[in-house]
Structure 1
Amino acid sequence: MYDKKGLDKVKQAKEQWDETTVQKTVSRFPERKENFETDSGIPIERLYSPDLLEDADYQRDLGMPGHYPYTRGVQPTMYRGRFWTMRQYAGFGTAEETNQRFKYLLEQGQTGLSVAFDLPTQIGYDSDHSLARGEVGKVGVAIDSLKDMEILYDGIPLEKVSTSMTINSPAAVILAMYIAVAEKQGVTPEQLSGTIQNDILKEYVARGTYIFPPEPSMRLITDIFEYCAKDVPNWNTISISGYHIREAGATAAQEIAFTLADGIAYVQAAIDAGLDVDEFAPRLSFFFNAHLNFFEEIAKFRAARRVWAKIMKERFGAQNKKSLMLRFHTQTAGVTLTAQQPDVNIMRVAFQALSAVLGGTQSLHTNSKDEALALPSEDAVLIALRTQQVIAHEIGVTETADPLGGSFFVEKLTNDIEDMVLDYIEKIDKLGGAAKAIEKGYMQKEIQESAYKYMQEIESNDKVVVGVNKFKMRKDTPTDLLKVDPAVAQRQCDKIEQVRQERSQQEVAETLKALRNAAQSDNNLMPYIIAAVKAYATLGEICGVLREVFGEYQQQVVI
């Protein structure tokens, strides 16, 4: 990409600059520290110039936006055509309360819904189960049956709104409820658009909301792939998530490597189940974290696109260009938000969101300033949404595709992250793939070590966190925080009891029996789950049947 004679001249000029100008300056004003590096441990040079990219090939490494290897973006015109989908992750208390928050956000210009479910829902228990006590509606909305889902989307036209649902082990049940609600609105499955997270491997690694062992969990995922490819063609059947891996303490390079390794496992599982790669791969999507190291995050997103395109083309032989595209949702880094001086979080989130946009995200959630203290208040979530709107409309970064493409620093970082990612994937392949690597505790151990190193840097003041280890202030905790009414649990229990009294017990029994038989066979489970949902079988009852057949997963302890 660069002329050799020109590169030699740059090298000579750079050496002369370093020996004279730089050394003179450093002798008078020493640099802040001896070594500068990114959070992934990539050394940061004092100056980036073309000589650091002497082996670069434009068409091979960058290409054009919308063309392989998609380094510069998956769409030719990127945000000149339309902006990313602006989603604010929302869910708390009852379906009624969350429905009101959804409507408020849509009125304020949000362009897609993103649903947070409470912990009992995420692990397949009804709100009246003994293990749900104290958790109902606390970190998301409680969804026990189709009745709750009907209330959650009341007055929201599902043919016009794209919905993302962060649910994993019971993903098939929640998707079935969504399909059933849409039908009640007169909306066909073909008209639905959105994403179900449906990523169980990262639950074993980083988050913990699993129910079943890996093998039946992978079966549920591939059943969703197969069903949606035929019946819900515009639905993203999985959001392969690095977000929670990063929140657990992974570096940027580990986030991408472990997420793409999980993606490889899902693709292989679907192929092994008899699906054609180009039948399901165009509907795969990813979910990444936007952390604080601004340029590393931008380079991370670009490297992820390039690596995934190569994996799909070279490893799996995908022919459809949409199968090669890494499309991703981004959420700003919750783990970086502080309870101290929470207003400072507004700036953190803005810069993180900007890195996601400069990195070419398709969808974005901006965290609220008070999330280190409580679920977001209405005022806080509005500021978070307005942050996206300012980036989209006011500061000019959406006028051209990949505006930092060609930056010597960004291109070198992109290459460095790609090399680190490929090295991790090679190690995971040697361990037998993502599932085996998880079973052996490899990913968990790598994340734990990175998290420990990061915290050591904060505690030693090597890494500054404003308001925490530097620029501290004495200030009272904010008082205008959102609190979930403790009576939510009782209201949910009363609602479940009413649903059980009004439904046909015979129909529920028949659909659950059919589901049990199907789970013991090789049949696709989605039609049976949809039938049970429509009969108003509860989430806990459906997951209970699958627990009986599949068993429950016990987490391996990693030392």
Structure 2
Amino acid sequence: MAETSSRPKHTKAHEVRKPSAEELRWQQETLAPALSKMPEQAIGAPTGINRDEQSGARFTTVSGAEVRRLYTAADLPADFEDELPGQPPYTRGIHPTGYRGRLWTMRQFSGFASPEETNLRYKYLLASGGTGLSVAFDLPTLMGRDSDDAESEGEVGKCGVAIDSLEDMETLFSGIALDRTSVSMTINSPAGILWAMYLAVAEKQGANWAQLSGTLQNDILKEYIAQKEYLYPPAPSMRLVVDTLEFGAHSTPRFNPISISGYHIREAGSTALQELAFTLYDGVEYVEWALRRGLSVDDFAPRLSFFFNSHNDFFEEIAKFRAARKIWYRLMTERFGAQNPRSQWMRFHTQTAGVSLTAQQPKNNIVRVAIQALAAVLGGTQSLHTDGFDEALALPTEDAARVALRTQQILAYESGVADVADPLGGSYFVESLTAEMEKNAFAYFEKLDAMGGMVKAIEHGFPQKEIAEASYAYQRAVEAREKIIVGVNDYRTDEKQPPILYIGESVREMQTAKLKRLRSARSNEAVERSLNALRRAAEQEPQANRGGISSANTMPYLLDCVRAYATVGEIAGALEQVFGSYREVSIA
């Protein structure tokens, strides 16, 4: 960690709760008689939570945090202030008008089979009213493998689109003007490679890079923590991320070169608090590494973005989003001294919780997704993806994708929730949950600081163990029916499975044939020259620079490689020759 970092002070701890005289009178005269006639019964709380002192019932959030029966002014934090939207610390949102000036981007995550088939799905989504694209890549692409690699067998095009070369990226965005379409790409270890391909396609379309908008996920820390799609050891992987931050600051001022992602942390089984704390601290780590490169915080921080999960517990999720903005503001101002207001803003994308979707009674998932999407909107998300109801079974069909998009449109145009900025601001319950999230996140930060930062914590297995324990506790609660999942451990029925999207092996055959043609038609000498230049750049230690892109930045060399039509596997392999590969050490 940088020696110059100043640590933000904790939010003030809650005072001992002191109910008002009116509340005490209500407890005696109204509540007590009601409980004697009808005791409270809570189904859906893990063991170990304190029972209510009067009813004995247990009520908790999805994450296991205790929930009181009633929230009043006595539950507000000691330092609670009546904040306003668009003003620091941005708890109530970064825009003073909320969604009245501009709705969130409706960005549907999509990609399957071949680039040709995915291109048709993108055009369908845009024609149906989608306002942004989000690219899902298949597992071989995510792992830096070509479709004809022996390790790609059985996975080509199955969980996303297969992209092997610039030729595939050209097909993927054929007929889609990249300077008028916001594009997000869910890619991490090979992120620089795929981003270079996207930039090269925009270049071929005649687009000005300065006009491009979108987001590259590019969050390698959460791969080590949760998703496990990594290629190289942590240090060189962090160097590649910093390369993209540096390159983006100078070349793509409207494009976010990273989306610091809690989504996958939550999908791995974390609590809402763990998702919040580990995600924001990952952001701290990226800032620290960029500062070591010699970048100024206000040069790159305005383009940092975040990606959160929206789970089933409606109010807990809203509080998480509100706390995230406040915490990030405090970190950027108190810890890093950011002066540009845009550096202090937390801008985030949200996806509804895939892990909450059930294969049993899949149409129930439409309701789950709607609740989760509403929480994201009330929490102030900048863009949103809603899952298809059939995604526990397979990639979404066109029908499921359309229902998911219509869910967002109904929220935007029929529900009225977009008419007011932060309509739950001032709610005793929501404000109390928000303050608890903030306080407990900073408690996690202290532990991570003491370990020497997130990279060190990952190497010691700390976040991995925390998430594993939370996931185990939740699963035990479900199996004990302390947590009810409708259609799974209660209210079960026999139901016919809906039609699903099936991806066959023909995609691998098609991609393999394309690769064979590509390698015979391109200049293999040019490919080898570009790969050699990339290796030499990767071997250089980046030097701190104050005015331009360091000669050690790999992005210009990646661009040369993709322009020569080197494949994803060839480029990732060249970097692996320099950096080596990574295998996680088992932590007891």
TM range (shorter): over 0.9
The amino acid that maps onto 1:502 is: A
Query: For residue 146 of structure 1, what is the aligned residue in structure 2?
Result: 166
Separation in 1, partners of 2:60, 2:485: 17
The amino acid that maps onto 1:16 is: R
Query: For residue 334 of structure 1, what is the aligned residue in structure 2?
Result: 354
Separation in 2, partners of 1:520, 1:42: 48
Given candidates 183, 195, 204, the residue that maps to 1:184 is: 204
Alpha carbons 2:478, 2:489 under 8 Å: kept: yes
Structure 1 vs Structure 2 CA RMSD: 1.1
Separation in 2, partners of 1:465, 1:376: 22
Query: For residue 66 of structure 2, what is the aligned residue in structure 1?
Result: 43
Are 2:579 and 1:550 aligned?
yes
Given candidates 253, 269, 273, the residue that maps to 2:293 is: 273
Are 2:514 and 1:495 aligned?
yes
Are 2:254 and 1:234 aligned?
yes
**How far did residue 44 of structure 1 move?**
1.1
Alpha carbons 1:95, 1:151 under 8 Å: kept: yes
Query: For residue 110 of structure 1, what is the aligned residue in structure 2?
Result: 130
How do residues 118-517 of structure 1 correspond to structure 2 at under 5 angstroms? 118-478=138-498, 480-517=499-536
Are 2:23 and 1:14 aligned?
yes
Separation in 2, partners of 1:64, 1:210: 41
> For 1:145-168, what per-residue CA distance to the aligned partner results, in whole angstroms no more than 9, with x for missing partners?
000000000000101100000000
Unaligned runs of 5+ in 1: 1-6
Separation in 2, partners of 1:49, 1:259: 31
Query: For residue 4 of structure 2, what is the aligned residue in structure 1?
Result: none
Which is richer in helix? 1
Alpha carbons 1:42, 1:416 under 8 Å: kept: no
Q: Normalising by the residue count of structure 2, what TM-score does the alignment of the two structures yield?
A: 0.92
Alpha carbons 1:149, 1:177 under 8 Å: kept: yes
1:78 alignment partner, SS class: coil
Separation in 2, partners of 1:347, 1:39: 17
> For 1:303-333, what per-residue CA distance to the aligned partner results, in whole angstroms no more than 9, with x for missing partners?
0110111001000111111111110000000
How do residues 527-546 of structure 1 correspond to structure 2 at under 5 angstroms? 527-546=556-575
Separation in 2, partners of 1:533, 1:104: 28
> For 1:326-366, what per-residue CA distance to the aligned partner results, in whole angstroms no more than 9, with x for missing partners?
10000000000000000000000000000000000000000
Separation in 2, partners of 1:91, 1:508: 28
The amino acid that maps onto 1:45 is: R
2:157 alignment partner, SS class: coil
Alpha carbons 2:261, 2:306 under 8 Å: kept: yes
**How far did residue 63 of structure 1 move?**
2.5
Given candidates 28, 32, 35, the residue that maps to 2:37 is: 28
1:308 alignment partner, SS class: helix
Separation in 1, partners of 2:232, 2:378: 38
The amino acid that maps onto 1:39 is: V
1:360 alignment partner, SS class: coil
Query: For residue 3 of structure 1, what is the aligned residue in structure 2?
Result: none
Separation in 1, partners of 2:66, 2:486: 24
**How far did residue 54 of structure 1 move?**
5.9
Separation in 2, partners of 1:475, 1:35: 32
**How far did residue 31 of structure 1 move?**
0.2
Separation in 2, partners of 1:488, 1:99: 14
Alpha carbons 2:77, 2:432 under 8 Å: kept: no
**How far did residue 474 of structure 1 move?**
1.1
Alpha carbons 1:248, 1:451 under 8 Å: kept: yes
**How far did residue 16 of structure 1 move?**
1.1
Separation in 2, partners of 1:54, 1:343: 40
2:21 alignment partner, SS class: helix
**How far did residue 41 of structure 1 move?**
3.1
Q: How many residues align?
A: 548
Alpha carbons 1:242, 1:255 under 8 Å: kept: yes
The amino acid that maps onto 1:500 is: R
**How far did residue 42 of structure 1 move?**
2.5
**How far did residue 57 of structure 1 move?**
3.5
Separation in 1, partners of 2:74, 2:479: 37
Alpha carbons 1:239, 1:284 under 8 Å: kept: yes
Separation in 2, partners of 1:105, 1:54: 44
The amino acid that maps onto 2:534 is: L
2:20 alignment partner, SS class: helix
Separation in 1, partners of 2:555, 2:258: 15
> For 1:214-266, what per-residue CA distance to the aligned partner results, in whole angstroms no more than 9, with x for missing partners?
11101100010111100111110100000000000000000000001111000
Alpha carbons 1:117, 1:140 under 8 Å: kept: yes
The amino acid that maps onto 1:83 is: L
> For 1:370-418, what per-residue CA distance to the aligned partner results, in whole angstroms no more than 9, with x for missing partners?
0000000000000000000000000100001000000000000100111
**How far did residue 501 of structure 1 move?**
1.1
Query: For residue 4 of structure 1, what is the aligned residue in structure 2?
Result: none
**How far did residue 38 of structure 1 move?**
1.6
**How far did residue 66 of structure 1 move?**
1.5
Separation in 1, partners of 2:514, 2:97: 49
Alpha carbons 1:48, 1:408 under 8 Å: kept: yes
Are 2:80 and 1:57 aligned?
yes
Given candidates 526, 546, 553, the residue that maps to 1:524 is: 553
